[in-house]
Structure 1
Amino acid sequence: MKLAHTALIAALLVPAVAFAAGPNIYKARHDNFEAMGRAMKGTADQFKSGNPDIAVIRANAAVLAAAAPKVAGMFPKGTGVEGNPKSEALPAIWQKPADFAAANKRLVDATKAFQAATATGDMTAVQGAFGAVGGSCKNCHESFRKPRA
């Protein structure tokens, strides 16, 4: 009887927890990626300016280094299109979790290296490290996000 009661409570709580996390996780995920996109664009704009401001680039590198580790926890099961039709997350995230984890590690490592490069002030090293961040972003976009029209 006690086991049946526990099972019933668990069965009732799982959908409630999934619902509670669902809408919030989508917004958190979106906001995190938007912050990363702004930091990438802001850095690229600095390089295009002809006179990049290392302080602006350092600030963007800090945003990226803080946002990248959050990505791994922002894709719990059930938070793809089945929970939000607007989601761009591909099923490969959940079908190939080791690949997704490796891609996220690559992103985290690249953003840390970028942040470290900005501390040196060596713009050649900074640009190279920024390119590695862009490559890690592209890798995930091609493997784990729906193509955009």
Structure 2
Amino acid sequence: MRTPADSRAAARRLIAALPRPLPHDEARRADAVQTALLASGLLDSSDLGNSPAVQAAARDGFTSLTHLLDKDAPGHGAGQLLLLLLAEREAFNPHPAPDEDQLRARDAATALLHLALWHTDDLMHLLGGALQVHAEEAHHHHRTKTA
């Protein structure tokens, strides 16, 4: 089981590897996100184009971004990620306004959503799975830290 620190490091690598701005062409955007997943260590080069592997990498990317958001607001990273994604989709500004790091996490999560559309018909299941993994990893880490 990965630690939250490992996940935060993977999230930082993912964010750093994503081009800004992302290409507008869907195929080029998907390639850019897969390249960032490779750079982050969340996807293996032998798994490119393999839908189950890309789904798992996207799920792990969401989990990692949630751990990253948890760093500043322990226990609230999952809610923060969902709020940021919903705010972008529905074009509203959450309060308090997200900082630059939160916006980068949101942009990375949005990029993962776009890639996941190529590999799954059930984005909610994928995102829910990521949040469940996050909760399990955070709980396990907290339990071993306090033991």
TM-score normalized by structure 1?
0.34
Q: Which has the higher contact order (CA 8 A, sep 6+)?
A: 2
Indicate the structure (1 or 2) with the bigger Cα radius of gyration.
Answer: 1
TM-score normalized by structure 2?
0.34
